């Protein structure tokens, strides 16, 4: 939208109704990305006219992206039948389903992704921390470094970053050993937690003062002796994964860079390369 619009500007010179500028999405709908200020009633009139036209065109979902500066338009959008889909720090996304059929608009992202890092030194000691906040605050429990994957961040990068932030240890990502799915967690969202194997590149700990109470290298026996490890399923699984890696009889999933079928963007496909190579070798022989 190039200029502010008032109620008298709803019809173009050729007599056709003025519509909100929109782009087509990949699923038969349209996206309205609002940029400039508009008087709410004028905006509502344009929105109504636009929906009529989009219905005639057979469009399905209508997405309206409102930056935080245009919060005064939210009421008008809601009054026209739109509902909230998701929000980010700088905008609100609302959506409307036009056809009288089953609404197939996907829900907002349902999962939050976290990582935990298992790091063993040459003595088979594990890097662990005690947290200053959260449910484990003040419990004396030693746990692996963990954190949340940032938007647009790869799991491999997130694991390296979290270890560095919490302990000062430089590490290299090796593989995903396992992952846990849980529901009704952060604001009722589901949670995916990836346990990653890392290789230490440094060994002198410099803990983060803001979030970490203490950090150290701990023997697997001491980690296993904690009451929480003996009672808590996740801690117990982490200990068993460490033992399996020490014995060398467990292979995790390492990333393989692949290109998308639809564009040139890269993504990562995680697989057990060790067994795949063995299978490939046996087939070739």
Model confidence over 56-112: pLDDT tens digits? Answer: 999 999 999 999 999 999 999 999 999 999 999 999 999 999 999 999 998 888 899
- 283: pLDDT strictly greater than 70: no
**Average confidence score pLDDT of the chain:** 90
Contact indicator for 78, 92 with CB cutoff of 8 Å? no
Average pLDDT over residues 138-153: 95
- 2: pLDDT strictly greater than 50: no
Token pair, residue 284, equals 């070739």
Q: Would you call 76 helix, strand, or coil by DSSP?
A: helix
Average pLDDT over residues 149-162: 96
- 11: pLDDT strictly greater than 50: no
Compute φ and ψ for 43, nearest 5 degrees. Answer: -60, -40
Q: For 113-143, write each residue's pLDDT tens digit.
A: 999 999 999 999 999 999 999 889 999 999 9
- Type and span of the H or E element at 259: strand 254-259
% of residues, the chain, pLDDT over 70: 91
The per-residue pLDDT for 16 is 52
DSSP state of 217: E
**Pairing assessment for the beta strands 125-131 and 212-219 based on DSSP bridges:** antiparallel
Question: Domains in the chain and their CATH numbers?
Answer: 7-97 (3.40.630.30), 111-247 (3.90.79.10), 254-284 (no CATH)
Distance in angstroms (rounded) separating the CA atoms of residues 198 and 176: 9
How many Cβ atoms from other residues are within 10 Å of residue 99's Cβ? 13
CA angle 247, 145, 215 (to 5 degrees): 95
**Pairing assessment for the beta strands 91-97 and 83-88 based on DSSP bridges:** antiparallel
- 279: pLDDT strictly greater than 60: no
């Amino acid at each position: 939208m190039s200029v502010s619009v008032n109620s008298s500007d709803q019809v173009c010179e050729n007599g056709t109704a003025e519509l909100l500028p929109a782009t087509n999405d990949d699923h038969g709908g349209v996206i309205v990305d609002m940029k400039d200020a508009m008087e709410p009633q004028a905006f509502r009139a344009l929105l109504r006219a636009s929906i009529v036209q989009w219905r005639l065109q057979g469009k399905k979902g209508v997405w309206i992206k409102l930056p935080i500066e245009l919060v005064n338009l939210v009421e008008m959008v809601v009054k026209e039948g739109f509902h909230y889909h998701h929000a980010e720090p700088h905008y609100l996304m609302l959506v409307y389903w036009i056809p009288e059929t089953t609404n197939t608009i996907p829900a907002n992202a349902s999962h939050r992704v976290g990582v935990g890092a298992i790091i063993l030194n040459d003595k088979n000691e594990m890097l662990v921390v005690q947290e200053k906040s959260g449910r484990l605050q003040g419990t004396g429990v030693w746990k692996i470094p963990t954190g949340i994957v940032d938007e647009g961040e790869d799991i491999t990068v997130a694991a390296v970053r979290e270890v560095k932030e919490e302990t000062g240890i430089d590490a290299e990502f090796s593989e995903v050993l396992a992952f846990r799915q849980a529901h009704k967690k952060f604001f009722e969202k589901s949670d995916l937690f990836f346990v990653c194997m890392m290789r230490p590149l440094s060994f002198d700990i410099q803990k983060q003062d803001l979030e970490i109470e203490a950090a150290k290298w701990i023997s697997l026996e001491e980690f296993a002796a904690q009451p929480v490890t003996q009672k808590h399923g996740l801690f117990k699984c982490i200990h068993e994964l460490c033992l399996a890696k020490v014995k060398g009889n467990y292979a995790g999933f390492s990333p393989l860079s692949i290109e998308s079928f639809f564009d040139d963007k890269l993504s990562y496909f995680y697989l057990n390369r060790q067994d795949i190579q063995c299978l490939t070798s046996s087939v070739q022989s």
